[in-house]
Amino acid sequence: MGSPLCVPIFLAVCILIQSSTHGQSLRPEPFGRRTRVTATKKTLLETETRFLLFKDKANKGCQIRLHHADTLQECGFNSSLPLVMIVHGWSESAPFSRSNVHLIGYSLGAHVAGFAGSYISGKHKIGRITGLDAAGPLFEGTSASDRLSPDDANFVDAIHTFTREHMGLSVGIKQPVGHYDFYPNGGSFQPGCHFLELYKHIAQHGLNALSQTIKCAHERSVHLFIDSLLHPSMQSTAYQCSDMDSFSQGLCLGCTKGRCNTLGYHIRQEPLSKGKRLFLVTQAQSPFRVYHYQFKIQFINQIEKPLEPTFTMSLLGTKEEMQKIPITLGEGITSNKTYSFLITLNLDIGELMVIKFKWENSAVWANVWNTVQTIIPWGIKPRNSGLILKTIRVKAGETQQRMTFCSENMDDLQLHPTQEKNFVRCEVNPKKLKLKIK
- Which residues sit in the known binding site for Ca(2+)? 147, 152
99 has catalytic annotation: no
Q: For strands 291-301 and 321-327, give the pairing.
A: unpaired
Q: Torsion-angle region of residue 202: left (phi > 0), alpha (psi -120 to 50) or beta? A: alpha
Q: For strands 321-327 and 311-317, give the pairing.
A: antiparallel
Q: Which of 1, 67, 73, 63 is nearest to 26 (CA)?
A: 63
CA distance 188 to 245: 13
Indicate which residue of 118, 133, 179, 407 is catalytic: 133
Longest dimension (CA), the chain: 111
Q: Count CB neighbours of 386 within 10 A.
A: 23
Q: How far is CA 233 from CA 49, 201, 219, 227, 287, in A?
A: 31, 28, 23, 11, 10
Indicate which residue of 218, 227, 236, 292 is catalytic: 218
68 has catalytic annotation: no
CA distance 382 to 368: 13
How does DSSP classify residue 398? Answer: T
How does DSSP classify residue 399? Answer: T
CA distance 271 to 269: 6
133 has catalytic annotation: yes
CA distance 156 to 177: 8
How does DSSP classify residue 244? Answer: H
Which residues are marked as active site? 107, 133, 218
